[in-house]
Amino acid sequence: MTLSLFALQLLNGVEYGLLLFLVASGLTLIFGVLGVLNFAHGSFYMLGAYLAYFIAGRTGSLLVAVLVGVPLMAVLGLLVERLAIARLYARDHLSQVLLTYGLVLLFNELQRALFGNDVHGVAAPQALAFRIPLGEQAWPAYRVFTALFCLAVAAAMRQVILRTRFGMRVRAGASNPEMVEALGIDVRRLFSSVFAAGAALAALAGMLAAPLTTVYPGMGESVLVLSFVVVVIGGIGSIKGAFLGALLVGLSDTFGKVLLPGFASAMVYAVMAAVLVFRPRGLLGQQA
């Protein structure tokens, strides 16, 4: 492999990882704060992508789709949390898995009823429909844009969590919800907003990914599996860990494909296993 090709594959891996981070961050956030294993997270991603297809198809603008769709999905997340998830905080993870898996089936049926089972393409915004030449190769501008956008979202999340009152409550809620409640903070509202934010993040990722991946039934499940890998590698509940985990998954998948094609599908899981051998709770998980 030449140096320029290596650099390009590095970019490919980072870009893929950043998009994974966007999905996985919501998943790890919800687990960290609410203690809920949310299988329906992939469904939010899938619904986001379908909304992008639906709204952008009618308005011709992905931006409009994001501006309308993300708040819509936050509201949906809020409803799901209030009507379903909230009843299970006291229960064990198995009940949560059962419920959220039920939600996956429900959302898949909803997708089937509303949008049908066809594969749909979503056009990248016109302003980004060009290619950036890189030596002999070319990179679609939209891919570069999504990578930068995901980075910006990651930076914004960091700011919100470290520097704002809301972020402080989130951190407090994650480490000791009883104490937070005793201090007079409405934990229920905190949980609702975190879940809604997680749903919105997943939907946003789905919308951004729609022009890259196309929109198809079952797209949520494949992302969900990878997101769990990211979350486990990073340490459950740690957003910084999810960021590192996502990059690691993106890079190992990319280089796995190029260097060890026969082993490519197992590469990501091998990396996960290797990480867990040395850090059983993930890179940045609270070590027991």
Partner 1 sequence: MSAHSLSRRTLLGAAAASLIARPGFSAAKAKLRIGLLLPYSGTYAALGNNITDAMKLAAREHKGVLGGREVEWIAVDDESDPAKAPANVNKLIAGEKVDILTGPVHSGVAMAMMQIVRQEKVLTIVTNAGAQAVTGTLCAPHVFRTSFSNWQTSYPCADVMLKAGHKKALLMFWNYSFGQESMAAFKEGYLKGGGSIVKEIAVPFPSTEFQANLSEIAALKPDAVFVFFAGAGAAKFVKDYEGAGLREKVPLYGSGFLTEGVLAAQGAAAEGVKTVLHYADGLDNAANKKFRDAFQKATGRSADVYAVAGYDTVNLLAHALDKVKGDTSAQKELISALESARIESPRGPFRFSKAHNPVQNVYLREVKGGKEVVLGVAMKDAEDPAAGCAMGK
Among 72, 97, 172, 264, binds partner 1 (CB under 8 A): 264
**Stretch (H or E) spanning 138:** strand 137-140
Provide the H-helix boundaries in the chain: 3-34, 41-59, 62-83, 93-115, 141-163, 165-175, 177-182, 187-213, 219-234, 239-259, 264-278
* Minimum distance from residue 244 beta carbon to partner 1 (Å): 19
Unique residue bearing structure tokens 């082993």? 263
- Segment near partner 1 (CB under 8 A); pick from 71-79, 82-90, 109-117, 237-245: 109-117
Among 131, 163, 188, 189, binds partner 1 (CB under 8 A): 131
DSSP structure class, residue 89: T
* Minimum distance from residue 270 beta carbon to partner 1 (Å): 13
Calpha distance 212→122 (Å, rounded): 8
Do 141 and 12 touch, CB atoms closer than 8 A? no
Among 87, 91, 112, 188, binds partner 1 (CB under 8 A): 112
Measured from the CB atom, the residue of 29 and 215 that comes closer to partner 1 is 215
Measured from the CB atom, the residue of 211 and 237 that comes closer to partner 1 is 211
Closest CA to 48 of 67, 21, 24: 67
Do 190 and 30 touch, CB atoms closer than 8 A? no
Among 45, 195, 228, 255, binds partner 1 (CB under 8 A): 255
* Minimum distance from residue 37 beta carbon to partner 1 (Å): 23
Instruction: Rule CB under 8 A: say whether 16 interacts with partner 1.
Output: yes
Calpha distance 99→92 (Å, rounded): 11
**DSSP states of 140-170:** EHHHHHHHHHHHHHHHHHHHHHHHSHHHHHH
141-160 residues in contact with partner 1 (CB under 8 A) are: 142-143
Instruction: Rule CB under 8 A: say whether 258 interacts with partner 1.
Output: yes
Measured from the CB atom, the residue of 261 and 280 that comes closer to partner 1 is 261
Do 18 and 151 touch, CB atoms closer than 8 A? yes
Instruction: Rule CB under 8 A: say whether 126 interacts with partner 1.
Output: no
Q: Tokens for 36?
A: 């809920």
Among 98, 121, 179, 273, binds partner 1 (CB under 8 A): 121
166-225 residues in contact with partner 1 (CB under 8 A) are: 212-219, 222
Binding site for partner 1 (CB under 8 A): 2, 5, 8-9, 12-13, 15-16, 108, 112, 116-121, 123, 131, 133, 136-140, 142-143, 212-219, 222, 253-255, 257-258, 261-262, 264-265
